[in-house]
Structure 1
Amino acid sequence: MENLAKNEIIKDLLPRKFNATGKLWIGVLLSLCVVGLIAYTRQLSKGLVVTSMRDYVSWGIYISNFVFFVAISLVGSLITAILRLTDVHWSTPLTRIAEIIAVSAITFAAIIIVVDMGRPDRFYNLFFHGRLQSPIIWDVIVITTYFFISILLLYFPLLPDCMLLLKNEKKLGKRPNKLYKFLGSFWRNTPAQIKINECAINILVITIIPVAFSIHTVTSWLFATTYRPGWDSTNFGAYFVSGAFLVGAGGVLMAMYAFRKSYKLEKYITELHFDKMGKIVVMLALVYLYFNINEFLVPAFKMKKPDQEHLMGLFAGDFAPLFWFAIITSMFLPVLILVFKKGRKPLPAFIAGCLVVIGSWIKRYVIVTPTLLHPFLPMRDVPPSYRHYFPSWEEWAIAMGSLAGMMLIITVFARLFPIIPIQETITEIEQHENA
């Protein structure tokens, strides 16, 4: 890669128009989003009665999706902030991938919360009549803060690339060019601008780490501050944060492979990147496994009556298939694949990333639903629908539509902007050659 000419790097990394496969992918995502909007329109007109949520399961697949989105958004702080501060240069091609995942995920985390509200027109009450004693307000504050920091952390490193994009107007078309002018026409790449930009980025990467830890810790407190079996845990903060880093790293593995294949970026996202990210996923999976053991072993050892019913439901009851599938898929199988060098090649690493993401989504569902179906007071004289929960088609459509919306943002961003930072790549190669 050291011998690549500057013009060749720019040519390789410029955004490209969608081919037939890309257009089909966009069509599928848009279709899922439209179906989700239709389902949400039905929910708005008829109320939450179209869902399968009832008095007991008042949180369902929507909140599972919310926790998943918040979790995967933490990858921005892992790749961009932590690895940057530790002076890890190999992660440069992955920073923008991580940041756009973070921005798109946290955007839909906020949207899915509004969807979960029976009266979204009262959303403003959170801001005007919120109480600081409520963990919900803490969540609103940290999510909003994390969103704006992530946007800035995506935007500032993009400024030098906007200048390069403006110089290649003929290749990119007039419409994208207007966007590049709006975002970065003021950028001249002067030493003063570069210094200010680097200083701003350093401030953001330092700031985002405590905010990132706070966002998922506070999300865990939404559960842990309620006195219910399955949620009444002092381990929840670390349990949620470790799981968030794992699913975020798995999401990056998936995106790395997809962009590498779609845009032919083999020279930039190399097998070395898959090897190193694979090792990170193994470490994070083992850390998350430790917190899972800690989360379930202690209440299982004491086996208090309220916890007994909950744990038996997870380990051997109705939720056992989902629970064990999530544990095996998100932790054991990825470790078995990635612990071997051959398993850290692009394709097996991609498969391991898919397993992590799928298992982690199901894990969030298992965290939310079983506890709600095991209240302290036994269910008496209630309809059968109150004793079980399975999402209605409207809930599935909205949930899948939100996941498709997140991927749509990532796809459109990759069409408009370089998914690998061009200027940073050129600078690193020049520094390496001069060393």
Structure 2
Amino acid sequence: MNDNTKPKETTLSFEKIKQDVLRPMQTHRGLELWIVFLIAVIAVCGWAYYVQLRDGLGVTGMRDYVSWGLYIANFVFFVAVSLVGMLISSILGLLKVDWIAPISRIAEIIAVAFVAVAGLVIVLDMGRPDRLLNVFIHGRFQSPILWDVTVVTTYLVISLLLLILPMIPDLAICKKEMTNASPLLKKVYSILSFGYTNTPQQHKHLHRMVRTLMVLIVPVGLAIHTVTSWLFAATLRNGWDTTIFGPYFVAGAFVAGAAGLVIAMYFFRVNYKLQDYLTDLHFDKMGKLMVAVCLVYIYFNVNEFLVPGYKMKSGDNTHLKELFLGSWAIMFWASQLLGNIIPVILMVNKRFRKPLPLMIISLFVLASAWFKRYVIVIPTMLHPHLPIQNVPDNFKHYFPTPIEIAIIVLSFALALLIMTVLAKIFPVVPICEIAEKEGIDYKIED
């Protein structure tokens, strides 16, 4: 490990690491109140979904022309944030970047929560969700929808395995140390620890399985956002008819995922009192990583608009003028400036890569990422090739209804609930891996 990447000196011991990581799981009452609040939000917003099921998609602002609205924009956003698991645990893990050890599990928790809810968001967009099974029974290989369902499901499964398998040594510790846990939770720890006692053979096999999954998830992670981009790019609509959408979506996903991870890191650092593990160094490194992925994303943004702007076909002319100067200009430029350009200018300065400033910057980046997906979806559908004639006025515009907004809030609350529950029952920082990185010897008794 190089001197410039070496963590600050601490007085860590194996007992201290166990106490620091396991304590919030047992005594954090604020977390329980947060769970109650999220359940209440889900219950209230669930009523909005019941209304949509009862009355149909007519309760939304979507019509014949804008048939994709808030839900699909939200789906693309959720898929984007979930890619942080592949970026941190797999790409940087395979490159043997040491500083990711304390944050890789948080990245996987985010990945599992957001990709799981991304699948549900698609169901929320269906007028007849009872027909979802037909995708699996009668799906056609020619359909990008089938590809999307396949890669989302595969990514979820591998992300779950990448969350649980590296956690097996810690779960063996939880089985012994979490004496106040409920009988059901103790049973979960006992089952998922698989009798692990950290023998050399067990350690070798576990390490090999994790490395295999880290390799497998890279093409799946790239495919999940590439296939999502194909759902757009396979059409001839102005704004979507481009071959650059695959890498463009992946680059944007890295930006959104990195920002979401920084926010989660700050939350756990402050509320779980994990300053010895989620250090200033980790925020500094994440700030540098965000600069890198933002620069790549800026490059693809320039390519996305420069080429059609140079050719300026009639349809692209209308679309780009609306984005740059028309009714979408404020949202478009705000997402570009607050989500890419200004954050890069700030984060090249080390003072803004401290925990609190970086967290605030990440909030703007993440919010801008959501609005960027909204700008990708809606304006294009408002500019069809054929003129809009002899239709009601509300067909010519799209405004999300309170029902849609409530259902979107439901999806966010559900993702946060999954993250919170996982953080409540599982260690968010890897105990054994931190001990190994610090050169601390430890034993796990059955």
Give TM-score scaled by structure 2 length: 0.94
Aligned partner of 2:220 among 211, 214, 218: 211
**Counterpart Cα distance in 1 of 2:341 and 2:409:** 26
In the other structure, the counterpart of 2:231 is 222
**Counterpart Cα distance in 1 of 2:38 and 2:349:** 34
In the other structure, the counterpart of 2:350 is 341
Offset of residue 334 of structure 1: 1.5
Contact 1:337 1:349 in 2 (8 A): no
**Counterpart Cα distance in 1 of 2:372 and 2:40:** 27
Offset of residue 383 of structure 1: 0.5
- Structure 2 SS opposite 1:90: helix
How much identity, in percent, do the aligned residues show?
50
**Counterpart Cα distance in 1 of 2:196 and 2:128:** 44
Indicate yes or no: 2:184 matched with 1:193. Answer: no
**Counterpart Cα distance in 1 of 2:333 and 2:322:** 12
Contact 1:217 1:237 in 2 (8 A): yes
**Counterpart Cα distance in 2 of 1:144 and 1:170:** 35
In the other structure, the counterpart of 2:11 is 3
- Structure 1: stretches of 5+ with no match in the other structure: none
- Structure 2 SS opposite 1:430: coil
Offset of residue 322 of structure 1: 1.0
In the other structure, the counterpart of 1:51 is 60
AA in 2 matched with 1:229: N
State how many pairs are aligned.
Answer: 433
Which aligned pairs between 1:109-188 and structure 2 lie closer than 5 A? Answer: 109-188=118-197
Pick closer, same or farther for the CA change 1:254–1:296 going to 2, 3 Å. same
Aligned residues: CA RMSD: 1.5
Instruction: Spell out, residue by residue over 1:235-259, the C-alpha distance to the aligned partner (whole angstroms, 9 max, x if none).
Output: 1111100000010001111011000
Contact 1:327 1:359 in 2 (8 A): yes
Pick closer, same or farther for the CA change 1:161–1:61 going to 2, 3 Å. same
In the other structure, the counterpart of 2:326 is 317
- Structure 2: stretches of 5+ with no match in the other structure: 1-8
Offset of residue 175 of structure 1: 4.2
410-419 or 10-19: which moved more? 10-19
Indicate yes or no: 2:238 matched with 1:238. Answer: no
Aligned partner of 2:295 among 286, 291, 295: 286
In the other structure, the counterpart of 2:21 is 13
Offset of residue 19 of structure 1: 4.1
Instruction: Spell out, residue by residue over 1:35-64, the C-alpha distance to the aligned partner (whole angstroms, 9 max, x if none).
Output: 221111111111111111000111101001
Contact 1:114 1:123 in 2 (8 A): yes
In the other structure, the counterpart of 1:72 is 81
27-36 or 293-302: which moved more? 27-36
Contact 1:379 1:387 in 2 (8 A): yes
Contact 2:82 2:114 in 1 (8 A): yes
Contact 2:335 2:371 in 1 (8 A): yes
In the other structure, the counterpart of 1:383 is 392
Contact 1:72 1:247 in 2 (8 A): yes
- Structure 2 SS opposite 1:378: coil
AA in 2 matched with 1:388: H
Contact 1:105 1:406 in 2 (8 A): yes
**Counterpart Cα distance in 2 of 1:158 and 1:431:** 18
Contact 2:10 2:276 in 1 (8 A): no
**Counterpart Cα distance in 1 of 2:27 and 2:378:** 40
In the other structure, the counterpart of 2:411 is 402
Offset of residue 20 of structure 1: 5.1
**Counterpart Cα distance in 1 of 2:178 and 2:108:** 25
Give TM-score scaled by structure 1 length: 0.97
Contact 1:271 1:346 in 2 (8 A): yes
Offset of residue 138 of structure 1: 1.1
In the other structure, the counterpart of 2:6 is none
